[in-house]
Structure 1
Amino acid sequence: MIISVLFYSFVVFAAIQIMYYLSFSSFLFTDKKQVKNFKEIPISVIICAKNEAKNLQKFLPSILEQNYSDYEVVLINDASSDDTADVMEAFKEKHANIRIISVQNTEAFWGNKKYALTLGIKAAKNEHLLFTDADCNPVSKEWISEMAQNFNTEKTIVLGYGKYRQAKGFVNLLVRFETLLTAIQYFNYTKLGSPYMGVGRNLAYTKTTFFSVNGFIKHIRIKSGDDDLFIQDAASKTNTQICISENSFTESEAPISLNDWFQQKRRHISTANYYKVQHKFFLGLFFVSKILLLISTIVLFFVYPWEFILPIILSYYVVKYLVVGFSAKKLKEPQITYFLPFLEIGLLIFQFSIFITNLISKPNHWK
């Protein structure tokens, strides 16, 4: 009786996972929309930096060399204690389209990135805003153009892809796999009419949209979530667009050590507690059903006829390989597919460890 219940539970978990991956395939059929006679709209690129002098020197030139005629770069110096202010001023002397916003720590908003971003957004002269981080660079000189083309009278939020640079080692593979899987999910949820997050490394929206939900005010005391929690408030099935053309990607240096990445993801995952109920439910169901499928598969192979288990688990892996494989190809991460089984198990262990750790203690936030 118990074994039969376990087998039927295994079938249910496998069916749930297969349905998820089939639904994740929706963004694979998104073709790049060519905007005929695209007229450039004024864009404000906003970069919030705290102690980022070295990264600004390295990556800011890629922002300033964009093939786009009408844009400004708003650099927010968020109470830095290094040479960030001097680096910004040096760039400003050479580039007339740079605007610098200096933020001082206040007792009410000490170390709060959302406060700094709000000041930068208010200071931006243009309606259309494009966000990235100080340690990011666009993969092409068409980044602004590719993202800007997705704005129209209806679409006021554009979700882009922020990838991590390929390097040697399993940690790098795991970081890039997690980033890919997250992107697959938020792109497909958006395609299915239920946007729930974006990444601040590559995100665009209008000032009007920002102020229509009173900016970050609902979660201003939560120091993380300037991207995903804002999308929770502002995005809808009608006003949000995805941009997945290769020239629209941004790229960052991946965390080198597992501990650095662990601390970073603790901060990110902690914001999920503030997601809408439906998003928490479906994201949680995906994670829990995957763990239970793995556990039930291992147990059943010891106590149940393998000829009943194998076809189901093979069907699951075929669907997953096809969806993740084609998604990886579309997002220019084909190497990940070769290591998929190991990466999936490694990521499950990693995410479960974060879940347990966050239950015990709260993570630190913006530097």
Structure 2
Amino acid sequence: MSVLDFVFYTFAVVVVLQVITYLVVLGKFAYSKPKNKRLQNLPVSVIVCAKNEAQNLKTFLPSIISQDYPEFEIVLINDASSDDTLEVMEDFKNLHSNIKIVDVKNNEAFWGNKKYALTLGIKASSHEYLLFTDADCKPASKHWIQEMTSHFNDKKSIVLGYGAYTKIKKSFLNKLIRFETLATAINYFSFAKSGNPYMGVGRNLAYTKKEFFKANGFIKHIKVRSGDDDLFVNQVATKQNTAICFTPDSFTESAPKTKWTAWIRQKRRHISTAKHYKFNHKLALGLLYICQVLFWILAISLSITTFMWPFVVGLIVLRFAVQYSVYGASAKKLNEKDLLALLPLLEIFLISVQLVIFIKNLTSKPNHWK
């Protein structure tokens, strides 16, 4: 067997594995339909942890305050801010009786640790059902609380939502950020649908206080400064206790990074956190990424050599046809259809950036929180 024969057969195996993954795993979300919601009007504590977010609170907090929901409180956590965050919170509290403020001072043992601040906020909350978002997030509708909490029941104590990013015209970075967000959501929604949930995003996540205290909060990964959302979900989520919510009214929308350096810094934190996932999740996600990398390397190599080109072209077309079917259906659900035109370019650019970040994280530690 020649080298090119080996490369071709490896390429064929990679394509087959990707097609199976897209159809069997990622298709679980792509081709699913939202379940009928169960209106319960459960008392809810919306928790927002903010560090130096004075302006964002002024901009986005009104959209939480104006939620069309009968009984909810807003727990605002000031995580040792050095700007006017606390003053802004107090101004809102003076106008709205359902706002509670938790003012967190720097603690030597938990310096700069968001999990410590969140723990204090959760303990101060009045209700069993907790809904989390960030200070720079805006609910997509006045029914955000209703949509997310409608999935709680006697068995479901964790609800995974979608946190989108605002669209910015004529910005490749914005499209890349949103594509990465879309791809991540497809993965964690699909894994959850398959009965193997592994993460959620703190921009839009709900769970019960009972679930939090049963796990002793963030204690198992308290020394990992990031991961208050995905590491907690990775630890406690199961097939039985986890639901997903992807109706348009349940989305949140955040202001995306507008500079490459800021986004890279954010991604370095996220990628460094993933190494603390359970082994089976790291293995599955690692194989997904390796198959992506191999597909592009082998496809480009075989295309340059024109070795068995009709079969190579056929495999490439098959792979993209299946990928577009899955990503197209998912992007329609998550209102990200404009990304499909640039899917191949965005994919190859994203996996390249992720590889560079992974290598960089091996040599230096990323910064955490703010």
Evaluate the alpha carbon distance shift between residue 298 and residue 154 of structure 1 in structure 2; reply closer, same or farther with a 3 A threshold: same
Aligned to 2:349: 346
Q: Does 1:27 align with 2:29?
A: yes
What do residues 16-57 of structure 1 show as CA deviations (whole Å, max 9, x unaligned)? Answer: 211221120111333223335x23110000000000000000
What is the alpha-carbon distance in structure 2 between the residues aligned to residue 177 and residue 302 of structure 1? Answer: 28
Give the Å deviation of 1:116.
Answer: 0.2
Give the Å deviation of 1:178.
Answer: 0.3
Aligned to 1:7: 8
What do residues 212-245 of structure 1 show as CA deviations (whole Å, max 9, x unaligned)? Answer: 1111000001100000100111100000000000
Code of the aligned partner of 1:289: C
Within the candidate set 249, 253, 256, 1:254 is matched to: 256
SS at match of 2:275: helix
Aligned to 2:72: 71
What is the alpha-carbon distance in structure 1 between the residues aligned to residue 37 and residue 296 of structure 2? Answer: 45
Give the Å deviation of 1:102.
Answer: 0.5
Aligned to 1:53: 54
What do residues 171-201 of structure 1 show as CA deviations (whole Å, max 9, x unaligned)? Answer: 0000000000000000000000000000000
Aligned to 1:210: 212
Give the Å deviation of 1:305.
Answer: 2.0
Q: Does 1:333 align with 2:336?
A: yes
Aligned to 1:188: 190
What do residues 242-279 of structure 1 show as CA deviations (whole Å, max 9, x unaligned)? Answer: 00000000000111011110000100110111011111
CA RMSD of aligned residues (A): 0.9
SS at match of 1:108: helix
Give the Å deviation of 1:300.
Answer: 1.4
Aligned to 1:154: 155
Give the Å deviation of 1:94.
Answer: 0.4
SS at match of 2:178: helix
What do residues 114-145 of structure 1 show as CA deviations (whole Å, max 9, x unaligned)? Answer: 00000000010100000000000101000000
Code of the aligned partner of 1:60: L
What is the alpha-carbon distance in structure 2 between the residues aligned to residue 11 and residue 59 of structure 1? Answer: 49
SS at match of 1:101: strand
Aligned to 2:246: 244
What is the alpha-carbon distance in structure 2 between the residues aligned to residue 69 and residue 283 of structure 1? Answer: 40
Within the candidate set 317, 322, 342, 2:320 is matched to: 317
Percent identity, aligned pairs only, is 55
Code of the aligned partner of 2:36: Q
What is the alpha-carbon distance in structure 1 between the residues aligned to residue 26 and residue 201 of structure 2? Answer: 18
Code of the aligned partner of 2:270: H
Aligned to 1:177: 179
SS at match of 1:16: helix
What is the alpha-carbon distance in structure 2 between the residues aligned to residue 204 and residue 301 of structure 1? Answer: 47
Aligned to 2:17: 16
Give the Å deviation of 1:7.
Answer: 0.9
Aligned to 1:164: 165
Code of the aligned partner of 1:152: N
**TM-score scaled to structure 2, two decimals?**
0.98
Q: How many residues of Structure 1 are paired with residues of Structure 2 in the alignment?
A: 366
What is the alpha-carbon distance in structure 2 between the residues aligned to residue 281 and residue 176 of structure 1? Answer: 25
Code of the aligned partner of 2:333: K
5+ residue gaps, structure 1: none
SS at match of 2:341: helix
Within the candidate set 276, 279, 284, 2:278 is matched to: 276
What is the alpha-carbon distance in structure 1 between the residues aligned to residue 134 and residue 282 of structure 2? Answer: 27
What is the alpha-carbon distance in structure 1 between the residues aligned to residue 314 and residue 36 of structure 2? Answer: 42
For the 8 Å contact 2:37–2:147, the answer to whether it is kept is no
Give the Å deviation of 1:302.
Answer: 3.1
What is the alpha-carbon distance in structure 1 between the residues aligned to residue 368 and residue 341 of structure 2? Answer: 34
**TM-score scaled to structure 1, two decimals?**
0.98
What is the alpha-carbon distance in structure 2 between the residues aligned to residue 342 and residue 3 of structure 1? Answer: 26
